[in-house]
Amino acid sequence: MSLRTLRIKDEEDMRVLAVRLAQILKMGDVLALRGDLGAGKTSFTRSLVNALAPSEEEVPSPTFTLVQVYERQKPAIWHFDLYRIEEEQDILELGWEDAIRFGVTVVEWPERLGSLMPKDRLEIDIQFVPDSENERDVSFVPHGRWVTRRMTDE
């Protein structure tokens, strides 16, 4: 298993990273975003969704709605926030199976997935850098097919 960590210096740097990753995404891809409250998971997703949008698009936090689907993108991007979820069954009710088959799935708080965790996924862990306000360490941990996949930013 390969692991790669990048030091991101600010939000703009993070946006550039998301835009580059967006270019290689295809139907069925799952990105599992880890990181504490305020690390920038939703902000990262916003950049990703907008990189693939025909024109700029609002990407609000999905904490309250649990899932936001962006259908102007091909394939559609499903943005899940499982922070408030406690039963795996509930995740299925949000359209999880459609998302992972026909969409590009970005999921925050993937630890809630339990047995639903897809074998093939790219985990992206966003960590605060001690004593720095804007910097983040972003680690990529590929699983399944992602292990052998080329990433353009490498």
Partner 1 sequence: MGIETSCDETAVAIVTGDKRILSHQILSQKEHEIYGGVVPEVAARAHLHHIDHMVEAALGEAGVSLPDLSGVAVTAGPGLIGGVMVGVMTAKAMAAVHDLPLVGVNHLEGHALTVRLVEDVAFPYLLLLVSGGHCQLLVVEGVGAYRRLGTTIDDAVGEAFDKTAKLLGLGYPGGPAVERAAAGCADVKAARKKFPLPLPLVGREGCDFSFSGLKTAVRRMVELRVQETPGAKDVPGLPEDDIAAMCASFQLTVADILCDRAGNAIAEYLKGDPAAPALVVAGGVAANKVLRAALEGLAEKNGLRFVAPPVKLCTDNGAMIAWAGVERLRLGLTDAPDFPVHARWPLDPDAPVASRKSERI
How is residue 111 written in tokens? Answer: 């630890």
Examine residue 133 and tell whether it contacts partner 1 (CB under 8 A).
yes
Examine residue 54 and tell whether it contacts partner 1 (CB under 8 A).
no
Q: Which H helix or E strand runs over 93?
A: helix 88-93
Place of tokens 């210096």: 9
Examine residue 16 and tell whether it contacts partner 1 (CB under 8 A).
no
Could you say which of 1, 54, 64, 154 contacts partner 1 (CB under 8 A)?
64
Pick the stretch among 19-27, 72-80, 91-99, 114-122 that binds partner 1 (CB under 8 A).
91-99
Place of tokens 């009710």: 93
Shortest distance (Å) from residue 35 CB to partner 1? 11
Could you say which of 7, 23, 36, 149 contacts partner 1 (CB under 8 A)?
36
CB 76 within 8 A of CB 27: no
Return d(Cα 31, Cα 45) in angstroms, integer.
10
Residue 55 backbone zone (phi > 0: left; psi -120 to 50: alpha; other: beta): beta
Backbone angles phi, psi at 13, to 5 degrees: -60, -40
- Residues near 20 by beta carbon (within 8 Å), at least 6 away in sequence: 152, 153
Could you say which of 69, 76, 116, 117 contacts partner 1 (CB under 8 A)?
69
Could you say which of 16, 51, 76, 85 contacts partner 1 (CB under 8 A)?
85
Nearer to partner 1, 1 or 37 (CB): 37
Kindly list the residues in this chain that would bind partner 1 in the complex (CB under 8 A): 36-40, 42-43, 46, 55-61, 63-67, 69, 83-87, 89-91, 93-95, 133
